[in-house]
Structure 1
Amino acid sequence: MFGASLIAGERVVVLHPVVQRDRLGDILSERIEREHVENVVVAPSPTDDLDPSRPQGSRRAYTLCFPKTYTADLQGAQIEVRGQICRVIGSPRRYTESNVPGPWNLTVDVEHIDG
């Protein structure tokens, strides 16, 4: 489609909660479905130490670029990146198709906090 790329994507796992409810809306069961997504570009973002009240805490953040073929909504999702479960920050939106000639058009910021 776009020829050989100089950028190599990775596999990430999107974690989708699946909740089964009764007719009154009460939760009957919950489970997590794991969706493997190939060719996601993973770019580490700056890491931060947390505030002084959490001296052992640290924050790891990534910017993920999802391929155009991925169409699910990621707001509020969790994504496993390099073995760490990260939460999606905000509400990811796609770039305008005509402005993105390459295979990726959805940028997602995620974070993982330790401590």
Structure 2
Amino acid sequence: MIGETVVVVREVVTGTDAHNEPITEAVEESVDDVLIAPGPRADIPDAFRPVGTVVAWNLHFPKTFTGSLRGAKVSVRGGAPCDVIGDPQPFTLANTPTRWHMPVELERADG
């Protein structure tokens, strides 16, 4: 299997304004060797998904990625950034003999 490069976009607080409100900036990080598949996966029933959630992509991040994806967006194959669903967590290392261990679902709503 061959992974691809995706771009993870996170909002990072860089300070506060005159009203003590946070100032954020979008920070991009390229992640190599991500397995990409179009969504949805057939093995997850719709009853377990939030209402209105449409899975655009299913990704598997490599073990070399250690960051959090909660609240992030991911751009796949140069497309518009899609929202990460939930707070993806990696599988136990002992149960993942391959290079990939964290499944991630992306959602996107058009219109």
Which TM bucket (shorter chain)?
0.7 to 0.9
* Matched residues, number: 97
State the Cα RMSD in Å.
2.0
Counterpart position of 1:70: 65
SS at match of 1:94: coil
Q: How does 1:27-66 map to 2 (within 5 A)?
A: 27=22, 29-46=23-40, 59=54, 61-66=56-61
CA distance in 1, matches of 2:98, 2:33: 12
CA distance in 2, matches of 1:103, 1:85: 24
Q: Which amino acid aligns with 2:86?
A: G
Structure 2 unaligned segments of length 5 or more: list them: 41-53
Counterpart position of 2:105: 109
TM-score by length of 2: 0.78
Quote the offset at 1:18 in angstroms: 1.7
Structure with greater strand share of residues: 1
1:48-81 C-alpha deviation (Å, 9 max, x unpaired): xxxxxxxxxxx55111100000000111111111
SS at match of 1:19: strand
1:8 partnered with 2:2:
yes
Counterpart position of 1:97: 93
Runs of 4+ residues deviating >6 angstroms: none
CA distance in 1, matches of 2:55, 2:61: 19
Q: Max radius of gyration: which structure?
A: 1
Q: Percent identity?
A: 41
